[in-house]
Amino acid sequence: MKLLAKAAQILLIIAVPVFIVTASIRILINPLYPQIEYSLPSFPPDTYGFTPQERLHWATISFNFMWSSNDVSYFNQFKLADGAPLYNDREISHMHDVKVLADEMVLVLEGVIAFLILGGAIAWRVKGLRAYFQSLSRGGFVMLAIVALILLGTVLAFNWLFTEFHRIFFTGNSWLFYFSDTFIRLFPMQFWQDLFIVIGVLCIILGLLFAFAGRRMAKNF
């Protein structure tokens, strides 16, 4: 019985960072983020001719696609001002891969939420809420340690981190683009670097919440 309880505590500790990361990504990958990012004075303009309004228009369409039930044929209806398709075949392939990854991430997020709720219900039933909240607190501290390493990597070697991320989660070279491709014109490297940092900050906030709120709650049992 003690071994089972220990295993449950370890799973809870692991579940907290998974929840925080997936929840943070789900919160930030929405059309509001490009609007904020494009308004930054330091954000580079599109040297190939997109106006800020056009950029935001196409970025909003792309972000909305991420959480929709559409497949990539959704993009066939969109044409640029010169009549060219919004995305070429390579970009369409990448958007497909990203959509698959986003759908899988949502399933993971929903599963982790269900696990945390079920774990709390079982802990309440067996009078183990103290250990439950201690595990949540430890998971928060684990998240803080992970974020510290990732943010350090983002500052010191973002290009390497960005490349390795894509090599892990995507097959082939569908994520490599020319500077003249729509995808890069909408989402240059600074866009992703800033997004990584903002996700990291949100993970820190949620990690602190779990770490200290969990510890405080544990003291009540």
Residue 82 maps to a domain: no
Residue 46 maps to a domain: no
- Tens of pLDDT, residues 87-131: 999 899 889 988 998 999 999 999 999 999 999 999 999 989 999
Residue 75 maps to a domain: no
Residue 200 maps to a domain: yes
- Tens of pLDDT, residues 146-185: 988 877 776 766 677 677 666 666 666 666 788 899 999 9
What number is the average pLDDT over the span 198-204? 91
**What is the length of the chain?**
221
Counted domains in the chain: 1
Q: The domain containing residue 193 runs over which residues?
A: 2-41+52-68+88-218
Residue 169 maps to a domain: yes
Burial letters for 78-113: b for 16+ Cβ neighbours within 10 Å, e otherwise?
eeeeeeeebbeebbbbbbebbbeebeebeeebeebe
pTM above threshold 0.75? yes
